[in-house]
Structure 1
Amino acid sequence: MVNGEKVDILLVDDRPENLIALEAVLASPYYNLIKADCGEEALKYVLQYDFAVILLDVQMPGLNGFETAELIKQRKTSMHIPIIFITALSKASEHVSKGYSAGAVDYIFKPFNPSLLRSKVEAFVDIYRNRKEIEVQRNELERQTADLKQKYMNLEVIIADKTKELLLANEELQVSQESFRKIFHCSPNLMAIRSLYDKKYLQVNKIWSEVTGYEIEELEGVLDNLLHIKPETSTEFSNETHSLELQDGLYNEQVTYVTKGGETRDGLLSTEQVYINGEPCIISVITDVTDSVKMQKEITRLDRLNLVGEMAAGIAHEIRNPMTTVLGFLQLSKKQQEYPTPIEYIDLMIGELERANGIITEFLALAKDKATDPRLENLNDIIYALHPLLQAEGMLGNKNVNLDLEDCPLLFIDEKEIRQLILNIALNGLEAMPLGGQLTIRTYVESDRAILKIIDEGPGIEPDVLKHIGTPFFTTKDKGTGLGLAICYSIAARNRANIEADTSEHGTTFIVTFQQSMRLCKNAENTTNI
């Protein structure tokens, strides 16, 4: 209890002037003086308040002071309240005797000394305050004890729950470790775990040793990159490829690696960083696709032979028309030797021969094994260089070419072929759009891959036409050869890119996704800068 709080004091006397006198002597901002003019009223107040001290006149009509005191002391909640009797001097001995029998702690004779009265009351108030302070502290201690008991009980419950969780987690961890061990050692893929601190091989699986030729004993303390992994298309930045196996976040990156016996094999490399006993490590997984690549090459060779047969008929048909025209005019000229061949006939024959030559040239562009010259190129720079040409072509038909280019790392591509790819698709888009249409060329990076989009506002492509897109000699144009998009698909394949078409009645979007990791391209860029 704060000492500044008011305490309740009960003044009991049947005479108003005596109450006024007591009130005047005890007036204080720290006391709440409550007055009663009889014993019955005093008992009512005792039920309502917790008094620090009671000043009780002995001689009162009805219940006198002694009787009132006895009733107060009989109640458990009020028996502790100190009572000071105020009595006449002539009956002091009687008051003293009865006062003690009634449980009084002190007495004052009338007329009383004000200073003595104040000092006695202040002493009992101090006792009351100390008792209240002790009660508050005891209650707080009991509350804290109860809280501690509750917390202890809760803690026991928490410990029991956590113990169960830990046991369950330990069981799950053991199952997980056992599963990882089985997956690691029984996987058909080459798996290795290496430390990022010192690049040491910590563990490899059985198939890794069988395919690479390196035994487990040879790996102890080895810091080198035994497999010499490098990107499949890497020719200019091999200095950076020695750390490829230790790079985080690769997914099915096409690589080649060299075994102990010197054999070069193909694979798909994926890496992930993990912490083992608090140490950062890299788990590398190589899916060996050497046999698949060989099979794909053989299938490609057979497909090429099949395609040659199919295309031969198409070429024969396409070239027969201009050759027939030229042959007819030459035969006509032979019969009319005395007359010179008109210049318009000669121009027509030249035009037909040029058309046949163009068909043959485009056909040769479809060759899958055509020699390419891939270099680190900026895709946006290629588009910027083509923009004036495309814009001029668009202006002829009141059409606009808009560029929306975001920063892209350098790509390992053949600049001339990519120019042809963009030009072919963009010109097709301009030709498909009505007057006032807008062609948009957009570039951005998504999921670590560079994306090129060419978006037109044409009528879209019909479903029965869409399924034949890219097929040689398939065209909807009156004077088309059907080789333009076929060439684009061939160029994309040679430059490790995929082409997809998304069409609707509002236009068509050709999406070219370059399957080159931006991380490898950045490594190549850094090496070139060095």
Structure 2
Amino acid sequence: MSLPLYPEPVMEGPHGPPAADGPVNILLVDDRPDKLLALQAILADLGEHLVLAHSGTEALRCLLKQEFALILLDVSMPILDGFETAALIRQRQQSARTPIIFVSAVSDSETHVSRGYSLGAVDYILTPIVPEVLRAKVMFFVDLFKKTQQLKRQAEERAQLFREQAARAEAEASERRAAFLAEVSQALMTPLEVEEILAMVANLTVPQLADVCLVDRVTDVGTIRLVAWRGSPAGPVPLPELIADLDPIPLDSDFLVAKAFRTGKVQLLGEVPRFLDEISPRCDTGERCNRLVRLGTRSAILVPVVRGQAVEAVLTFAVVKAARVYVPADIGLAESLARSVVMAWERACLYQAAQEARREAEAANRAKDRFIAMLSHELRTPLTPILFSASTLAADPTLPEIIRDDLQIISRNAELEARLIDDLLDITRITQGKLNLSSTLTDAHRLVLSALDVCADGVQRKNLVLTVDLRADSHMLNADEARLQQVFWNLLKNAIKFTPTGGEIQVRSFNPDARRICIQVADSGTGITAEMLPRIFEPFERGQETSSEGLGLGLAISRPIVEMHSGVISAQSAGIGRGATFTVELPVVSIPMETGAAGPSSGEGGDSDAHRLRQPRILVVDDHADTLNVMQRLLQRLGYAVSTADGVESAMSLATGEAFDLVISDLGLQDGTGHELIQRLQWSGKRIPSIAVSGYGMKEDIAQSDQAGFAAHLTKPVSSQLLKATIERLLALQ
């Protein structure tokens, strides 16, 4: 094992130097002052501290205050004689062993001497006193006292040294225990699975705390199963082989590990051999502890890992090599280790719960995304034949003007419906953080003018006065053209919607400084209340309750788009009936405008002429009959030879017998998908340019079409102009 986590016994060190000699106290007790004076004269040359007491009572008071090397005590004293005084001296623990020499003039020496010695006297002197004899005896006991005091001091010094060494050893061991627990706690911050935690505990505790560590858990069938271990047994059999031979332990058995599971209390075996001797009369050859026996365990401690009211695991620490044994002090460290395991266990459970919740949330989001995509697909699909039919009929020169106006109404409202579907998809992308930008160098003024062109019909219908003042000198941006034009279109659409007939709309641009451009759209419309202004950019807020159409998503979509361009959008209004002003502030790019424009290519139309040599053949695949029929008529009117199919198999059958220049396919077909159709055409050796036409228009849908081999992906409802342009572009590439 490594450095012990508890201090080893402190060995006795060398003796320290003796304390310096000094005068000691000698107590002289006699009721006669002349005799005290004589004793003082005889002993004065010894250089010791002589204390005089004139009675037994005064002598007792002196003993309460000082320690004496020797007492010279007169026998015959009034009130309290020498013998009575000696008896009281001996009753006090501090003076019970102080040497007493009786001094007496009584001739009946036999009786007095016997009584004196019976009271613990070391000598009995009769007067007259021989000074040399008295000094010799006093010097002997003084020297004895000094040596005794020296031995006491040395013993105290040794004891103090032992205490300091023990305290230092305990402090060092405490530091090692704290460092060990800190290391374990830090290491247990990493694993996020319970099995990893238990395996790590076994690895960390060997050899710091034990030679062998076993970790047990209870199985579903009520038996105890070893789930982790580390270390080397005392015998020649490796630990994995030794463990493999052990049978499962029943939870209701008398094994110590089973007892730890049932009671939730630490099981300490200071000395396993002695424990086995104690239980041998109650069990068969110690089989109740066979794991400990086979490991060659000298000492063991079993610690339950308790979470709440349940014992989740038991940690068994065993000493098999070292001479030390576990003691009760080890329980604190083992329990601290178990608490660290519990905290790591709780973190793992919380992490696993969070992961499960995240997986469920992601699954729910995916399901929601697919539902929205399917919903948009189903909503877009009927719009395609509506728009195609309306545009086809509007191209008929024989129709009356009023009919053409009605067709324009149909087209406009179908496009509005498609815009609402796009808004729903956009707000979904924004809330999920899936709205991405494709930024290029672009002109902010051009985007504003393009948005104005789109809104021109609305301005004319309501006879609005439109003022455009684009005076910003710096108006080049690094921006996603389509998304930023969407913002300007939303602002213009709202201004037209909420401005009464004959009202005014102002569009202007300016540079507040060299780094920014501001685009403002102001109207004289219904205005916005002060209470509504803070919420105007939230989803489904519409400024005020009106009967006008819309979901209130335009501004909610515009704000994140502007913010993704590192810009700011804001709204101001003086109140109801006083109009509103919306300001978009964006960073500009300091790149000079190009002065020249490229002219049309001299070869323009050359590829088209090549295709006029024969009529291009197009295969249209869609399982929606109305869409299929309307698209066929539109393409035939545009001069193409068209064949139709309502599924993958019928399309493959036509492609096998005929040569097509282009394939236009829906993605969701009854007997497969458009992706499968294109892949099968490619596998059969037919490399035909293809256009995906689908109600699925999210970024991942377009990416899937590109991966499947489609050259273009158009989202329903598709305008006839966009379809025509895409077809011409792909045919021109052949």
Q: Same fold (TM over 0.5)?
A: no
TM-score computed with the length of structure 2 as normaliser:
0.25
